[in-house]
Structure formats: C-alpha cells, structure tokens
Amino acid sequence: MARPARPSDAAEQSELAQLVDLVRSTVPPVHPAGLPFIAGGLGLAAAGRRHRWVRTAGLAAASASALFFRHPPRVPPTRPGVIVAPADGRVTLIEKVVPPAELNLSTEPMTRISIFLSVFDAHVQRAPVAGEVVTIKYQPGKFGSAERDEASTHNERNSVWIRTPDGVDVVAVQIAGLIARRIVCSAKVGDKLELGETYGLIRFGSRLDTYFPEDAHVLVEIGQRAVAGETVLAELTR
C-alpha cells in the first residue's frame, strides 16, 4: 500500500510547482530557428568538458544564442483597427513614401514606420494586423547598415502584404543589415494571420518597415521603443 503523502511532502511539491511556474514565466521560450545554434554551443561545451576555456566558450555561445532567439509571449491589444509593431526595437523613421516597387501595390504614398533591431532585441517578427497574406516578395540586395534611410530600397528584404477583413492593405518588410544575413519567413500566400502572430525572424540585427494608409493616425514617435505585438503604431480610420 502506498504511503500517504506527509504534509511536508505536499509542501515540497507545492514549492517545486511554484518554482517551475516562476522559471516558465521568467525565461522566455526560444524560436525553433535558434535550436541548432544552442545545440552547437552545448555540443562544444560537452566536447571540451576537460578544457575549461572550450567549455566556457561553448556555454557562452549557447547562452548568447538562447538570448538572441528568445520568443517571449506577447498579448496584443483587443481594440479593433490597430496596427501593432511587427518587431521589438527603436522607431527610427516615420515618413510618407511609395511602397516597395516589387509588390506592384500602388504608386500612392503610404505611411512608413521603421523599427531598428539591435543584436540585443528579440528578433522574431509578428503580424502588424490580422488578415490574409496577399503577396510575399523576396528582393536580393546589399547588406548595408539597416539604420540608414536607403536600407529600405538597397538592402536585401522580404515583403509580406496583408489585407485586413475590412480590405485595408498593410505591408511588413523584413530588411537585412550589416550582421543580419538570413531572413526567415514562415508565412505563405493565403495564410490567415492573427494580430501579433509570429511569422518570421531575421538573424543578428536588422530592421522592420511597416507600410499602411497615410490617413491612419500614428501613435508613436521617433526614438520610442516598440514591443512587437503589443505597441500600437497607428490606428486605422476604417
């Protein structure tokens, strides 16, 4: 017959459960694209377990990869008609420009908000609006500094055009930078994305441009920090 749990056993189990919940809430999950990098670092640490500097380098590489590829949970706003930040980072540009030519979207100017991601930001990308993916266009290009204005037209990029249920067109553009050399996009034409849903990632420093109708009410300023999936960039007028 099984021994009934003592009060101390129940208390220990409760404390353990609380610790597990604390770890889960404090340490964010990792994007699947980062798992090979983390595994590589851990493998190096295991292979060099008898050599302190090799072990330390492997553990440091695994930790840095886990930090870079973190995929923290986010809670999008519930009010209708909002455009949220597609990436963590700093707002660097707010301007009226023609959308990327490769989309053949329109020659009418749209509002563009640029967000620069440093290597310390979470690098997953999230849908700025809920809607259907109309077009995805990859454009080869240079790997200049993503902070420069010309990065929007000269750098390698991947554009995702989303149409909301109300027929509003919004475009999110992943732009590679000096260090970022790999753009990952899991979305496909015809996909229905939820507001704030993860759809891509750029490795090691980059920029996200968001294009939307110029009559939308912009709610951020240059220099402001944005949180992907939560910070409201603008409100649509329809």
- pLDDT per residue as tens digits for the range 228-237: 999 999 999 8
Whether 129 shows a pLDDT value over 50: the answer reads yes
Please give the residue that has the higher pLDDT: either 66 or 210: 210
CATH number at residue 205: 2.70.70
In a domain, 76, yes or no: no
In a domain, 73, yes or no: no
Predicted pLDDT of residue 121: 80
Q: In the listed set 23, 42, 68, which residue is the last one of a domain according to the structure?
A: 68
206 is catalytic: yes
Same domain, 161 and 51: no
Q: Specify the pTM.
A: 0.74
pLDDT tens digit string along 74-90? 889 999 999 999 999 99
Q: Which entry of 114, 152, 159, 206 is annotated as an active-site residue?
A: 206
Whether 19 shows a pLDDT value over 50: the answer reads no
Domain range spanning residue 172? 82-235
Q: What is the mean pLDDT of residues 135-163?
A: 75
Same domain, 62 and 99: no
In a domain, 1, yes or no: no
The 3-class SS string of the chain reads: CCCCCCHHHHHHHHHHHHHHHHHHHHCCCECHHHHHHHHHHHHHHHHCCCCHHHHHHHHHHHHHHHHHCECCCCCCCCCCCEEECCCCEEEEEEEEECCCHHHCCCCCCEEEEEEEECCCCCCEEECCCCEEEEEEEEECCECCCCCCCCHHHHECEEEEEEECCCCCEEEEEEEECCCCCCEEECCCCCCEECCCCEEEEECCCEEEEEEECCCCEECCCCCCEECCCCCEEEECCC
In a domain, 2, yes or no: no
Whether 25 shows a pLDDT value over 50: the answer reads no
